[in-house]
């Protein structure tokens, strides 16, 4: 019998959401190493475009930033750098990303991060009625309204999506 319950123990992300009065749903799935948003969307029966990945990146001065992107898209690093603005943006190595965020890779949430970092969100994410985003541990997503990203996280909209879901 599965030990999954409808409520998962608190994470720094869920504590942050509750502290800010954000209503959210909880979605548990079986984490698969390197399965990414394709695996979570398949298990939860939701479009991958609505599953938002949290990517920890850095500029040329090694200053960290977070990028929130549709699961079925990739980030145009050149376009993102233009909008930050900075010379260059690149993904952080997993251990560096974990140090900045306080979360394990595969369980990174933009909420309740260890270090305060600027957040950029692909602007088409904001047009969705709801999104699923990591809740602070592997195999755990929270669903919420995307306006939380701009209103409470002060995420800055950017146009930097590449891939099948990009408009």
What values do phi and psi take at 42, rounded to 5?
A: -65, -50
In a domain, 85, yes or no: yes
In a domain, 78, yes or no: yes
What confidence category does residue 83 fall into, taking pLDDT thresholds of 50, 70 and 90? Answer: very high
Give the integer Cα–Cα distance in Å for 22 and 115. Answer: 21
User: In this prediction, what percent of the chain has a pLDDT beyond 90?
Assistant: 91
pLDDT above 50: residue 1: no
**pLDDT tens track for 85-109:** 999 999 999 999 999 999 999 999 9
Please state the three-class secondary structure of 118-131 as a single string: CEEEEHHHHHCCCE
In a domain, 118, yes or no: yes
Give the integer Cα–Cα distance in Å for 123 and 79. Answer: 13
Q: Which two tokens stand for residue 47?
A: 């479009």
pLDDT value, residue 163: 81
Please state, in angstroms and as integers, the Cα–Cα distance from residue 98 to each residue in 25, 70, 108, 157, following that order: 25, 21, 8, 24
Q: Which of 29-33, 82-86, 145-149, 162-166 is the least confident region?
A: 162-166
H or E element in which residue 135 lies = strand 131-137
Per-residue pLDDT averaged across 124-145, rounded?
97
pLDDT value, residue 165: 64
In a domain, 115, yes or no: yes
CB-CB contact of 166 with 143 (8 Å): no
What confidence category does residue 164 fall into, taking pLDDT thresholds of 50, 70 and 90? Answer: confident
In a domain, 12, yes or no: no
In a domain, 4, yes or no: no
Q: Where are the alpha helices (DSSP H) in the chain?
A: 12-19, 36-44, 77-83, 94-101, 147-151
Which residues constitute the domain of residue 100? 24-162
pLDDT value, residue 146: 97
Residue 132's domain is classified under what CATH number? 3.90.960.10
pLDDT above 50: residue 5: no
Domain count, the chain: 1
**pLDDT tens track for 24-48:** 999 999 999 989 999 999 999 999 9
What confidence category does residue 4 fall into, taking pLDDT thresholds of 50, 70 and 90? Answer: very low
Please choose, from the candidates 123, 126, 104, the residue with its C-alpha nearest in 3D space to the C-alpha of residue 113. 104
H or E element in which residue 70 lies = strand 64-70
């Amino acid at each position: 019998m599965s030990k999954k319950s409808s409520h998962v123990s608190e994470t720094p992300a869920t504590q942050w959401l509750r502290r800010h009065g954000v209503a959210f749903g909880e979605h548990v799935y079986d984490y698969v190493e390197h399965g990414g948003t394709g695996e979570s969307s398949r298990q939860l029966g939701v479009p991958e475009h609505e599953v938002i990945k949290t990517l920890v990146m850095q500029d040329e001065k090694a200053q960290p930033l977070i990028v929130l992107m549709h699961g079925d898209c990739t980030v145009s690093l050149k376009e993102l750098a233009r909008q930050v603005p900075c010379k260059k943006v690149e993904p952080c190595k997993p251990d560096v990303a974990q140090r900045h965020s306080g979360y394990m890779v595969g369980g990174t949430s933009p909420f309740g991060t260890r270090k305060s970092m600027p957040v950029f969100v692909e602007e088409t994410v904001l047009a969705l009625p709801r999104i699923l985003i990591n809740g602070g541990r592997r195999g755990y997503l929270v669903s919420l309204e995307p306006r939380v990203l701009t209103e409470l996280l002060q995420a800055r909209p950017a146009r930097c999506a590449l891939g099948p879901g990009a408009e």
